[in-house]
Amino acid sequence: MKTVIRVLLIIAAATAGVRAEGQTLPPEQLRANWQELHKLDFADWKIRDYLGWSIPFDGGSKVFFFESDEGERFDLMAANPAYWTEQDRKKHRQVFFVIHKNRFYRITPKSKNERCIIKKLTDAAARLSGGGRKNPKLLRSLARHLESRKPIFKTKDKYQ
């Protein structure tokens, strides 16, 4: 529950006023470089627990919550179109972020980081079980969306 509240507060702060200015979300001060996660050996983390998912009050992003074998908490966000760049909108390409300790790491399509996360999700889906919001089928579906970048959301006219 603490993680859900934390993500909701971060995203609420990130979206306040920014959308009106037409800027890409999240704001610059919350964006991070992948080198920060690489220093923590993120590539070696295995998902110990899939904690479920939630929809924050930012217009419809979906945030999936995880805990690694090392005890690190991180989230994977399928971002609503307000977070998409103009190029993402033109290509109708879903945007994803890893969120760790209040920092947003954009997952570049067809990157090494994307392949790493797809592998984490696929491996976890094979090992974990649960129902409802912890159903491993959601992890497999999330991995497929991450790989294909097909939009999870129906975009509104203002984002097209």
Q: What is the mean pLDDT of each run of 10 residues along the chain (160 residues)?
A: 50 44 73 94 95 83 94 94 87 94 95 97 93 89 94 60
Residue 149 domain flag? yes
Residue 61 domain flag? yes
CA 133 to CA 46: how far, in whole Å? Answer: 20
Residue 46 domain flag? yes
Q: Is 3 helix (H, G, I), strand (E, B) or coil?
A: helix
Q: How many domains does the chain have?
A: 1
Q: pTM of the full predicted structure?
A: 0.80
Residue 159 domain flag? no
Q: Is 140 exposed, middle or buried (0-12, 13-18, 19+ CB in 10 A)?
A: middle
Residue 160 domain flag? no
What pLDDT is stored for residue 20 in this prediction?
37
What pLDDT is stored for residue 82 in this prediction?
82
What pLDDT is stored for residue 156 in this prediction?
56
What pLDDT is stored for residue 18 in this prediction?
40
What pLDDT is stored for residue 26 in this prediction?
86
Q: Which residues pair with 143 in a beta bridge?
A: none
Residue 12 domain flag? yes
Distances in Å between the Cα of 32 and the Cα atoms of 74, 78, 103, 146, 151 are 14, 17, 6, 19, 23
What pLDDT is stored for residue 56 in this prediction?
84
Domain range holding 50?
Answer: 2-154
Residue 72 domain flag? yes
What pLDDT is stored for residue 1 in this prediction?
53
What pLDDT is stored for residue 133 in this prediction?
84
Whether residue 132 contacts residue 107, with contact meaning beta carbons closer than 8 Å, is answered with no
